Each structure stands twice: as C-alpha cells, then as structure tokens.
Structure 1
Amino acid sequence: MRVYLSYSTSKLAIVSILFFFLFAGCVSKDIHPDAVKGLFQVDETHLNSILSRLNSPNGEKQSWVDLEAGIKENIKYLSKKQGDEVAVKYGNMEITWGMLARTNEELLEILPELDVYPDLLKDKFVWFALSPRTLLTGYYEPYLEASLTPDPAYPYPLYSVPTDLKALDLGKFHYRWKGEQLIYKIEDGAVVPYDDRKAIDFEGTLKNKGFEVAWAKSLVDVFVLQIQGSGRLLLADGSVKHILYAGKNGQKYVSLGKILIKRGLMPKEGMSMQGIRKFLKDNPDLVEELLTTNPSYVFFRLDDSGPYGAMNAPLTSMASVAVDSKVLPLGSMALLTTKLPQEGVESKKTFTKMVMAQDRGGAIKGTRVDLFCGSGAEAEFLAGHLKSWSHIYLPISREALNQYFQKKSDECKK
C-alpha cells in the first residue's frame, strides 16, 4: 500500500520553504504577488477551486493517460541536466532541474490513480501561481500544397539551413549572455548579419544554390508556416510530408498583425491569422511590402513524423505549450486555466488542463504562453483567434522542495 503525506500535516514545512523562495538571501521584505513578477504559493481554498475545474462539466475533461508519453519525454530531457543546477530564477524563486525532474517522475507515478484520488495533486505537490498573469495565444500545423521537385505550379521555395549560416554561442564569452546566439555569415572577410526575408524571398540570395527542400504554391502559406514553425506538405500524389523547423536567420521577429493595425489597414478588434490571409489575398500589390516588415526567416527540414518542439520531442495537441524558458523551463508541468474562442459564437468556453512546457517561440517572451492546437481546420481557427488572459499554476514536488529548503537553511547558518 502506498502512503502519501497529507496536505495539512506539511503546512509548517511549506511556510519555512516559502521564506527562501519569497525573500532574497536570508533577509525578509514585503512582497505582493500582484505587484511584482514571480511565483507565489496558492492557498488551499484557491487550490481546491482550481483543481475542481479539471473534471467539471463546464471544463476541459482531463485525460491523464494522454499525458503519459509527454511526461516521459520531459523526464528524458531533464535526465540530461544537472539536478542541483538552477533551471530558472524568476522573481525571487529558484527552480532547479532536479525539482522539475522529481515533479515529472512523481506525476507519472500517480497518473493511473488521479481519477480516483485527485487529492494526490495536493498531497504530492506544492502549487505556485505565475505572476503577472499569462497572455495565452496559439499555434498549429498548417497544411501547404507543395511539391518535392521543381514545378512551375509551385514557385515558392522552402529552404534548409544554408551552409554559410554560422551560429556563435555568446554564453561562452559572458555568463550574462547564457543561452544567446549570434547568427551571422562571413562576407568579404567580415562578420555580417544573415540575409533577411527581403533578400531571400524577393532578391533570391539563396535561389538555385541547392538548399531547397520543397516548393509551395503560395508565398503567404510559406510565411504562415514560418510563423507556426512546422506544418504538413500536401503533395500532388495525395501523400503528406512533415516539414519541421530547422533554424532561423537571427533577425528580429516583427508581428505582421501589429504592422497592419499600426498602419490602419486592419482593426485591432477581431485580428486573426484568417483575417491577415484575407487581407493579403485582397491586396496582392501590398504582399511584398508587408511580408518584408518581418525580417525574421525560418529554415526547414523534411520528416515522416512530427511536429517536434524545442526539446526535440513530439508535441501533444492541446497539451504542449511554447514558453519563454527564462520564466518557465522546458520540461515544466503546469495547470492552465483560460477561456477559448468558439467558432460561430461570441462566448468563450472554459478550459482547464495540465500542460507541458516543451517548445519555445521567437515571439514568446515573459509569461506569455503559446498553446499547440494541433492540425486541421479547427486547430487553425483556434490558433488564429486565441488571445486570452489566463493563469498558470506550477506544481513542484513537495519532497524536492523540502530538500531545497534544508540546503538553503544550511547555507544561511554558515
């Protein structure tokens, strides 16, 4: 018989633990979770309310078994990290890779029992609310009509990473640049930024150099694919090929939606990918000018399976999310509460579900989270219209926190 630590018997331990999370060093100061960024413990009443939504009639029915494969991928990824190393420090809270690994392992262990014993989520984990609240957006796998060989009907190339593209790990030069890269090429003996969208798509700097992996019917489809990061090629013989993210040119990402709003070409209300597509279709003379406002460019590779996230693990529809890993480390589990748009109706539906931080995105900064919506028409609608203020709750293994507390306590005594 498995014995679990009860929620009530560990309150004193939690209070002690929070002393180290909420206050820098060993000195206390007043902090309010609504005033500063950070992760703040969820009280028991609020936690009960949140967890009750997981299987409520108005919520998103949680299939715990569906998370098993994704959690195992998290564990595989986290097993390659140093357990004592800090994965992220957000606000005044440190999260180690070991905490994340232990959390995933314990969640995997109790998955089969959660339908019968949901209180295990309280017994096994301490829950923290991410502050400030989350802006939730969505992404999906678009379909493109394409060819794997040159064809006049498919004039727009999709490129692999060019051989002259170089990447420099800036973290080797200064700790403040850890995780940052410089993308460049050598031109006339000098280091210069890599070609931008205008140079590649409209000046042909990569054309006929052997980097093409496929050709698409629509340049706008190529642009959308680059924003989403991966997709599926619909070939003339009826077969489907996955086209996956392989790299980028290092140029700044600029949102076309924001450009359209700023120039007064489209209203902010109701802005969506579908609306952008329609505007570009109705205004072909503006396509080049508008697309080149985003100099960022993505390169691809072909595969028979996918899509894969930044952990090089398969993404799970409506459960994998892209995050800013400086806030939520890859491999984190989180409870997401939000409301999702519904096609054909103005009201939104409640969505409460455990999600997995398994991807990154060029536009995903701070507490913003991008939900992977899958593929197909429903996924396209949801990803194109999803923009909701949401809340993220992070579970951390109670046992791992106790160990962390003990270590910090020993350090403060020295």
Structure 2
Amino acid sequence: MSIGLVNDLVVLDMSQGVAGPLSAKLLADQGAQVIKIEPPEGDYARRRGPFPHNIPHPEKSLTFAYFNTGKKGITLNIRTPQGANLLKELARRADILIEDLRPGELDALGVGYPALEEINPRLILVSVTPFGQYGPYKDFAVEDITLQAISGFLYLSGDADKPPVQVALEQAQIMGGRCAAIATMLAVMERWETGRGQHVDVSIAEAVASQPPMHIVQYAYLGVVATRGPRSPNPTDGDYLPCKDGYICITTGGGNPWEKFADFFQAPELRDPRFATREGRAQHGAEIQAILVDRLRERGKYEVFHTGMRERFVLGVVQTPEEVLACPHLNERGAFQEVAHPALGTLRYPRSGFRLDGQPAGEIRPAPLLGQHNEEVYCGWLGYPREALARWKATGII
C-alpha cells in the first residue's frame, strides 16, 4: 500500500489526456488508490508522443507514463449496457470518480450524477472539461493553444511587436488538472462535515483565466490592458547572458550596490556614472550587455552562479533537463525517483515538489499497462469469475 495522507480514498479515473489524469495522479502521489478506467483501445494519450526513438507504441508513450503513475489500470466500454452497469458497481465502492466526457454524455449513458448519487450518496463526481458543464461554449472542442487564447493567457506571452506565443507543453491542461485536484480535496473536506458527495464542475478555461498574474484584476481596477513585453533594455533586470558553457540569468535583486557588480564581473567599466541608476542602465543597456558578455565568455555558468549567490547576488543558472536531473540541491531533497516500467525500462520521475512533516515520501509506481489489473479489480474486487472476463473481452465490454 502507498504511504500518504489520503490512503483511505478510492478514486476512479475515467479521464484521458492530461488534465483529468493529472488530477488523479496528484491524489495517487499522496496515497489514494486510483483505478484508471480506459476504453478497450486505451487512453488517447497512449498514441501521443514523445516515444523512445520516435517509435509509437501504446505502452511507451511518455505522456501517458508520466500522467498515470501510481494507478492501477482496467479497460471498460461504458457505452455498452454491461459496461455502464460495471461502472455503477465500481462507483458504489468508490469515493471519487473523475471524468472528462462532453457535458451530458454521462447522463445519456445512464451514469450521470443523479444515477450515481442514488447508488452512492457519498460519491464525489469530478467533471473536468474545457468550458464546464454549462455556458455557451460548453460543447466546443479545444486544443491547449485555444484554451490559452480564450483565457487571456496567450495574449500576455511573447514580444510586444510580434504575435502572441503559446506557452509550451500543454500548460492549460496542467493548470486545469491542478485546479481539479484542489477542488476534489475541498469536496472531500466538505464530505467530512456533511457525509455526502457532490458534483464538482471544473472548467479548464476558468482555471487558466485565474493564472496570468494580475491582468484581469489590473483591468477591472484600473482599466489598463496588460501587454506583451518588451524585455527590459537593462540586461541586469532578469536577462540571460551566455557563459562558456550555457546561460546565466542576472538580476539586481539581493541588495548589492551597483559598484559591487563591477567588482564581481571584473569590469571596472561598469563604474561609469552613466550606469549608476536603473534609468541609466536601461538607457545604456546595449553597452552594459556587451561588457558583461565579454566578461562571461570565459567563465563557467556554475562558477558564476555559486560564487555570485554566496556574495548575495541573485542569479539563475539555466539548466538543461540533464543538468536538472543531476542538480545536487534537488537530489539531496529527493526530488526524483527511479521507476521501473515493464515496457519503458527504468526512468527517473519527479516527485510532488513538497514535503509534509512526519510523512515519508511514498514510492512512485509505474503507469499501468493497458488492462493490467482487469482480473484484480473485476474478479478480486467485484467478485466476478475469470470466465466473465473472457466473455466481456470477446464482446468488446473490456
């Protein structure tokens, strides 16, 4: 059994892709028993890359492997009468069901919240959809870029004189998944008081709209429309500059006087009175950048980072994925764990990103193979004979 704060929760994850599966994964990280319910053909994330050596394989999607760690996996076609009945049996024994079908689809299949509530009044149904269960856009299809666009997130990304730029790696879906996990635990807390479940309606677009820093509040309060960029002309206002082996971010945080920058970078030219103020540094940013680039070209980024941070400069070493995995600070904190997957082999996975006093870090279990736990769940948990599995398999129910 996993070690965690929510060991007593049984979660059915019927969602696909990123947002819903991430919310279930976050619960699994804290010890919840999560059963991934996939259609017989599998979660569509299994057909999305990246794949090792760029060779597609349903058991080797890194997207699926990451967003489904810690879960058991079964297959079930809920669009068949027998499949819908099996879902009800599972829901009767569960605390939480996470789904991402289009609004109204569960009801059309006879397994909407009213039907499930009648079976299990304590069940929390979490619907994670692009626009929520109601509203004029509720039936619209999306991609991550369209969610970023409609939420205002895209408008703030990129340079002012160029078109907006999408933030990579399905950030809208990730924001929606984290929002769903928080909402789910709030519903669990309310159930402690009331003894009853509820239907949690998560709109990914709303989750994303709450994320960009202050742009909605700024407009509501001041009527000011936040814009993209431009980057500060002052390279010490958070710019990144090349060293001999990569990049370092430079800021004027930390409280050091400007004169100390001249000493640290061994650049007496920086004592020029024109650079003494922030306004002056912005006005003559190109000259400052040329000086810094000249001094940094022979220095290693880690030497600059460690030396500078000890002297109360606020610097950021730009690390590649390989360097992040080797980072001594993250490794001392146990930020990563090696996980052996039967198809992918042993990979290092990030942990949850926080520590709870008195709670040991639980072991990350690999994502399930397609239908890996059918026998354990249907026979061991629900009590059906093995012959039923063979019959259901032959008729497309599992």
TM-score of the alignment, normalized to the shorter chain, above 0.5: no
Q: TM tier, shorter chain?
A: under 0.3
Higher share of residues assigned strand: 1
Higher relative contact order (CA 8 A, sep 6+): 1
Computing the radius of gyration over CA atoms, which structure comes out larger, 1 or 2? Answer: 2
Higher share of residues assigned helix: 2
